[in-house]
Every structure is written in structure tokens, then in C-alpha cells.
A and B are shown apart, each in its own frame.
Chain A
Amino acid sequence: MIPRLLEALAGRVAAADATLKTDDVLTLGVGSGGDCRVSGCRTRTSHLRVLLDGRIGCATASDEDQVELATRALAAAASGEELELHLPAPSPLPEVATWSPPAAAAPADALEGLARGLAERLARRDRRVETWAERSAGTVQVANTRHVLAAYDATLAGVGALVESLGPGAPPPIRVQTSAAALPELAEVEALVIEVERRLAPAVLQWPGPRFALLPVCFAPRAAVTLLRPLRAALLGREAWLGRSPFRGRLGELVCSERLSVADDPLVPGRPASRPLDDEGVPSRRLTLIDRGRLVAFACDLRTGVAAGVPSTGHAWRLPDAVPRVGFTNFLVGPGAETRASLLGSMSKGLLIEDLEWGPGLNPLGGVVAFRAPWAYMVDGGEIRGRVEGVSLSTNVFESLAHIRGIGDDATWLGSHCLPSLLLEGIGVSVTA
């Protein structure tokens, strides 16, 4: 469909590009009473962007009416952004595994086995456990008027659980899940069980005070994903090149602790955001963003690249109901050499945070953020003494990343993030319980 659409537009516009994405999702959930529910969903989304008289027009649609889609994109161009967009020419694409035949063909029975297996491992008399398993199989087709025409198939499969403890003084519910191109293996399911049991084991502890203190805090991988949201925003797109990112204009400078290295890698085999090219037809490549504390690169797409005068790094995404936007693929933080026990041992008194809830701030790019930490544990003398309720954390993330005391060797894949534990100094800890 896309080549015909672009062919029809070729004489009428200066340039055009399009994507067509299809997806077939099967989801199976197992409720706390053992009952199961099954749902499926098949979707397709077309995105068209045209360059007409120096202006950009974008349109999206979920049906197959190409004429209607083209008409709307052309109309949008009359009021669109002025931009000298240069589309990429065809070039060799890297190889990356994005497809798992067993995942693509997994029937409801296979998903039920996964979900029930996890439910059985987590079941206890004082818990309510829901689990689910899901697989999707889709295609992505990308083309433009410079004769790029590429496509790849992708699968995504996962299993997850919601574990709710019952009774007075019960801890908050836990959500855990794992996902990748292939169906989860036993070890990955077991890792979820281990995480749940580890988080639920310590008893609640009365915080000895003070109500507010600056303390060392160890962020486990799941918490680190949330903690680093301001860092990801600062490394991305227009804000990084031309906007209010604290890193703007600092390429080549030391911007955080030399312990920290950060990269984005769409070529890791079989991860949720792996792909051979981006949604604008730019071939994928690994991008080092921070190398031992030194700022090396920002991620950008064609549009940001034009504005900043730099080439695209292949980080464009097209989502339903949106113009192409820049975003990370598989975001990686390099592991350190320290075990978690060693990280905790280096704190005299502090907190271990297993998971965090993002608290929307007015200025995340400034790095000043506050988080709720329902999964916080008091650490004293290197030992976990108990779970602490009513904890919230406040800090300037960028200042904290300049003082990393340690990085764990426990880099863990959580969706499209692979992060280790981070031990940071001087985090504002407020306890209200």
C-alpha cells in the first residue's frame, strides 16, 4: 500500500514518507480466583508526512483509504511547520533479531501455561495474585519518495503479575513483568518470583527519625528506571539541542560522575525496542550518550536534526495520532563491579528503594523531582532492617548523578531499559508515616 501511495504523491509534493504498522495481540489473564479471560486485538496504522511548498503536513489513519489520508496530509501541509526536511536515501540495514516464530504463533493455551505457572509460584494464603501473559506479532513498513522501502516483522511477548498482600498493615500492591521478542523462559519468570519474595519478606519498621534527612540511597534497577527520567529527557531531541536541557551546549564536557556510562542500542537482539531502522527510514545504530561521565551525543530524528544542523541518529518513532517524534529505543546504563550487598555495605545508614512512583514536577528538565517510594527499606550496617512506610524522596537528579557512590553489577532488563542498581548520596528523604 505505501509504495503506491508515495508513487501517487510523487509529482505533487517535494517529498513524502510513510509508515504502515500492523499488530496482532493476544492477551490472557488469570484472575485471583483462577478464572481466565482472553482477548485479542488486530490493528493497523498508517502515517503519512508530506513536504509541500516548504511546509510539513502529517496525517494518520487506521483504515485503508489512501486518497483520504493523502488529502488530509496535503491540507495539513498548508498550515504546517516550515522545515527543510531531507529524507534519507536507501542504505544497507543492520541485522537485528526482532522476531520469534514461537512467540508469533503462541496460542491461548501457551499463554495460559505461562500465566498460571507464575500465579502458582506466587500464590500464598495471605495474597491475592493476578497474572497475565501476552504476545503480539506485527510488521513495520517504512518508505519514502527517495526510494527507501524497508520492512521488518517484530514480536513481543511478556508475562506479569499483580500481587496484593491481605490483612491489616499489608504492604502496597506489587506489579512486576518481563517482556522481550521471545516468549519468557523459566529463568525470567523465576526472576519475577524472586523479586516479589525479596520485596515482601522484610517486616514493617517504625522509622526512627528524623522526619527529614539527607541520606545515601540505593536505587534498585526498577527504581532507577523512574529515577533517570529527567536524564532521558535531557538527552533527547529538541530540548537537548536547542531547548532547556541542562546538557545543551555541553557536548564533550563531564556532566556527571565518571562511573556513569549511558547508551541507546536498537541493535540488541530480541529486546522490545530493537529494530533495523527507525520510523523515518534511518538505519539503526548503537549510540553512546554518556561515556564515563562525559557527554558524547544526543538522540535526534530528522526534524530535530534539521533545526540543530546535525544528522538524525535514527531515533524517530511514529505513534498513532501523532507526528514523528524522537524517543529512545533500548536505553542502557553500563553496570559497575559492585554486588548489591557491597553497595548496601558501603552505607552506614540509608535506604534501599525497590520501586518508585513518578511525581510530576513542574520542571523535570531542571532535574528537581519528587518521588513517592512505597517500596523503601531501611539499611543499617549493610543489612536491610525492615520496610519503611510513608517515604518520599526529593532531589536534583543531575546533581545527584554527579555524586554516584557506586553502581551495581546487577544490570537488569525491564522492558526496553537495562539498568543496574545506583547508589547515590544526599537524597532528601521525608517520612510521614
Chain B
Amino acid sequence: MNQRFQDALRGARAGYAELRLRRVWSTTILIRDSTVEAATTSLETGGIARCCSPETGWGVTGWSDDEHLEAHLVRAHELSLAGGSRRPVRLAPIPVRQLEAAEPLPDDPREVPLHLKRRRAESLAGAILAVDRRVAEARLLYRDEVVETWLATSEGTWLHDLRPEVSVAALAVAEEEGNVERALGSLAARAGWRGLDAAGLMHEVAGRAIARLRATPLRPGRYTLVLDPAAAGALVHRAVAHIARPRLPGADPGVLVIGTRIGPECLTIGDDPSAEGLRASAPGDDEGTVARRTVIVQNGVVVGHLHSRETAGAAGFAPTGHARAGALRGAPYPRATNSYLAQGQGTLDDLLRDVPLGVYVTDVLSCDATGGRLSFRAGMARMIRSGRLAEAVKGVQIEADVLHLLGRVDAVAGDFTWDTRDEHCRDGNAGRVPITTGAPHVRLVDLAIAEGIS
């Protein structure tokens, strides 16, 4: 493949040309109670060619086989010349490297027969139903994939990478005396067939659905809020890392402005695509730049952005290795990978100790932001009374200005963990990429909790 790429690039007429080919083998199994609703396999190939010259913008073309690489480059070059008022692209330089990282997978999901995967999925769905007689329905989505990527540029960069991923998503429906409640959960790992132990998740999801049967709706008002690491990670990603890049056509319009104070001293936030073994980790990004950890917020002040070669070139910085394609045939944009909130000090008990009345959020459902306002919803929470966890509540919903919300952070614990849920990030036309978030427990004071649904 390397030779074919080099041959094609040799004939490219553009100043800069890039070819990426990605092949995805995947299996999807959907179980509803004890019935298999789907067991399917897919093999999808996606290619993209990008070209630009000193006087042109990008020309991009995508396709779905591994043939005619030269023709795709010609078309990309033609598209780079189409349309008026092109803004020339200035790519920040990167060291040329050749990385062959497509080692044989020791635990390759492609080698495992479908009936074994089906049996495993049925067993997990059965485990949800077996937790309690009140669990009336279970659904389980098992998915594995192996992604092989070839990337070459006219500058001489060559990357060949082979990566597995396994994920499980579970839904439990609990019913009691006409009251019906649901709970969702997921796990994902950058690993092979045996790389995911999901048995605990099944019990946990069923347990949450049952707990919601007895949980009372939270009374709207002002509370101290303690977020568990998953909830804190979701907040940090959406409010900070998601918009920690320059403005880009087609992407969400929000931008975190460098030099702005967005929170207290205890907030240090970054993004680390080089973190060991996480889903969004990779030896290089989709432009061939070496992935490296980038600090976005240092002690409450925005100090850095995540960059692609294009945005780094325009801003006069070095690329950070965050150029990620949001689709098989999509162009790379600077995107968050493994976003984290750096740990502070102390434990969850330390955060709870001084809280007379508050809410401990443990089951984040959604966290989204538009135009500087953030919306956060949780499926389950516990009341905090006199420094101790008390009864279960539901219907936690926060609508607040992002800066107002981050300004309410008053303590960050020292118990950092990465969240292993199957999470993705969408960004306008830039597509959808897998992400991981990591954080310790976090406390926010005097926050308005709205009337939510329960």
C-alpha cells in the first residue's frame, strides 16, 4: 500500500497533497430481552484526498474503495481550484516521519466467530434481567470494530495504524405498580475481544433503573452541587475542551478566547491524545502530527488551543496533534480527544463534609452548550444533608451561563479517574469522534437547579 500511495502522490500537481484510506471491519449485535434483533457485520472503506497550493484553498474529495488513487488526487486538485476568493492555506510545519504501527492484534475481534459474540451479548442481556424481578425489559447493543488507517502526504509522512475497539451499551426498564423507569449505561475500550469486562455494568444499570422507581423529584432551588468524575468530565469537555480551538467554518461557532479567566485557581484543564490506552489516544493525528498533551486552562485562565496544521499555521503556533476526521471520508478538524480536569486535593468526603444541603450528581445524561449557555441533565442524584449522602433524587437539570457555572467551582478533589463510557463528540459539520473524559470529584456552590422532568 505504501508504494501505491507514494506513486499516486508523486504525480500530484498541488503544492501539498494528502491521501488517507481507512477500512473498518465491524460487528453489531442487538439483543432485546432474550431475543436477537440483529447480528450483522460490515466492511466499509473510506478514502479522502486533500490538496492545496500556495494560491488556493483546500480541495477535498472522498470515495469508498481503494482504487484509482491518482484520479482522486486529480479531482481534489481540481476542486481546490474551483470557486472564487480562495483563502490560501498555510500549514504549520511538522517533522516528516514514517510510522508502521499496524501490529497484528493479539485479541483480534475479526477472528472471533459471530456465534461466540452473540452468546456473550445474550449472557449480558440476561444478567440485566436477572438482577431483580422489577426489571421488566433489557436491551443490549454489542459492537466491535477494527480500524486500519493508511495516511501519506506529499511531504513524505507515512502512517499505518491498526486499532481495535469493543463497546457495550445497556438499557434496563424497571416497573413497579405502574411506575416505569429506565436507566442507560455503556462501556468502551480500545481493546480486542476480551478487553471489556461488562458484567458489572449490567448490575449497575439495572440497579439504577430500580433506584429511580423510589427516587423523588428534586425540588428546584439553589444548591451546592458535587459532581462525580464522569459528570465533571462531561462538563469540562463541553464547556471548555470542545471549543478550545480557533474558529472554523462548519464547526460549532463557540471559541474559548486565550487569556480569558474562566474559573478559579483550582481549574486546570487539558487534552491528552497521548494518554496510554484510551479510546481517543493515537500515535499521530489524521494529518500525521505526533499527538501530545496540551494544557488549555492553567489555574483558571485560558492558555492554549488545540490545533490542526492549518489552524496552527494561521495562528503562528505549533500543531498539537488534534486534527481528527469526524467521518470515514471527512476532512480533519482540530478536536478534543481525552479531555481532563487536573486533580486537586482531598477526597469526596472532604468535599461533602461542609455541605449542609446539596446534591451529589452521579448519572450524567447530557451536557450541551449553545451560545455560551450550558444545559446539564442527570438521571439520578443523591441529596447531601449535613455533609452526608442521603436519599436518591431525580430530575436534576441545570441551565446556566458557562462562565457563571465554571465560576462556581470552589473545590476539586484528588481522586482523578478516566470515564470509560462510550462517549462521542459532535461539532457542526466536522462530524463525530470518540472521546474520553477524565476528572476528579468537583464541588460547585450556590447553583440554581431548574424545574426538570423526572
| Residue B368 at the chain A interface, CB threshold 8 Å | yes
Q: Report which of B45, B46, B184, B247 forms a contact with A362, defined as CB distance below 8 A.
A: B184
Given the interface contacts A38-B83, A366-B180, does A390 sit within 8 Å of B39 by beta carbon? no
Q: Assess whether B46 is in contact with A62, with CB atoms less than 8 Å apart.
A: yes
Given the complex, which residues of B lie within 8 Å of A61, measured CB to CB?
42-44
Q: How far is the CA of A394 from the CA of B250 in the complex (A)?
A: 31
* Nearest-Cβ distance from residue A351 to partner chain B, whole angstroms: 15
Specify which of A38, A44, A363, A368 lies most central, judged by the most chain B CB atoms within 10 Å of its CB: A38
A368 close to B28 (CB less than 8 A): no
Q: Kindly identify, within residues 368 to 391 of chain A, every residue whose CB is under 8 Å from any CB belonging to chain B.
A: 368-370, 372, 374, 389-390
Q: Which 8 A-B pairs have the closest CB atoms?
A: A172-B371, A35-B87, A41-B62, A39-B60, A108-B82, A62-B64, A36-B83, A58-B40
**Residues of chain A within 8 A of B448, CB atoms compared:** 432
**B453 close to A369 (CB less than 8 A):** yes
Give every chain A residue within 8 A of B379 (Cβ-Cβ).
Answer: 362
Please encode chain A, from 30 to 45, with 1 for each CB lying within 8 Å of some chain B CB and 0 for all others: 0111111111111111
A170→B66 CA distance, assembly (Å): 47
Q: Are B181 and A362 in contact (CB under 8 A)?
A: yes
Instruction: Fill in one digit per residue for A97-126: 1 if any B CB lies within 8 Å of its CB, else 0.
Output: 000000000011100100000000000000
Query: Contact: B41 with A62, CB < 8 Å?
Result: no
Choose among B39, B46, B113, B368 the residue with the greatest number of A CB atoms under 10 Å from its CB. Answer: B39
| CB neighbors of A among B329-386 (8 A) | 329, 331, 365-366, 368, 370-373, 375, 377, 379
Of the candidates B65, B80, B450, the one having the most CB atoms from chain A within 10 angstroms of its own CB is: B450
Q: Is A144 an interface residue (CB 8 A)?
A: no
- Interface centre among A60, A162, A172, A321, by most chain B C-beta atoms within 10 angstroms, is A321
CB contacts (< 8 Å) of B35 on chain A: these are 81
Chain A residues bordering chain B, tally (CB within 8 A): 75
Contact (A37, B41) CB under 8 Å given A81-B36, A370-B377, A430-B451: no
Residue picked from B65, B249, B329, most chain A C-beta under 10 Å: B249
A-B contacts, 29 of them at CB < 8 A, read A28-B82, A28-B83, A32-B249, A35-B85, A38-B83, A39-B331, A41-B61, A41-B63, A43-B64, A61-B42, A69-B43, A72-B43, A81-B37, A81-B38, A81-B39, A130-B250, A162-B428, A320-B42, A320-B44, A323-B40, A357-B375, A359-B377, A362-B182, A362-B183, A370-B452, A372-B368, A372-B373, A392-B397, A430-B399
Residues of B within 8 A of A249 (CB): none
Closest to A396 in B: B453
In the assembled complex, the Cα of A380 lies from the Cα of B386 at a distance in Å of 44
Q: Of B29, B36, B173, B250, which one neighbours A29 at CB under 8 angstroms?
A: B250
The 8 A CB mask of B65-92 against A (1 = contact, 0 = none) is 1100000000100011011111100000
Task: Give chain A nearest CB distance to B170 CB in angstroms.
Answer: 13
Interface residue count on the B side (C-beta < 8 Å) = 75
State the CA gap A201–B41 with chains docked (Å).
51
Chain A residues with CB below 8 A from B137, complex form = 244
Does B61 lie within 8 Å of A39, measured CB to CB?
yes
State the A residues within 8 Å of B (CB). Answer: 28-29, 31-45, 57-64, 68-69, 72, 75-76, 78-82, 107-109, 112, 128, 130, 132, 162, 164, 170-173, 211-212, 244, 320-323, 357, 359-363, 366, 368-370, 372, 374, 389-390, 392, 394, 428, 430, 432-433
Cβ 8 A contact of A172, one of B46, B370, B399: B370
**In the complex the two chains form, what is the Cα distance from A61 to B40 in whole Å?**
11
Q: How far is the CA of A433 from the CA of B401 in the complex (A)?
A: 8
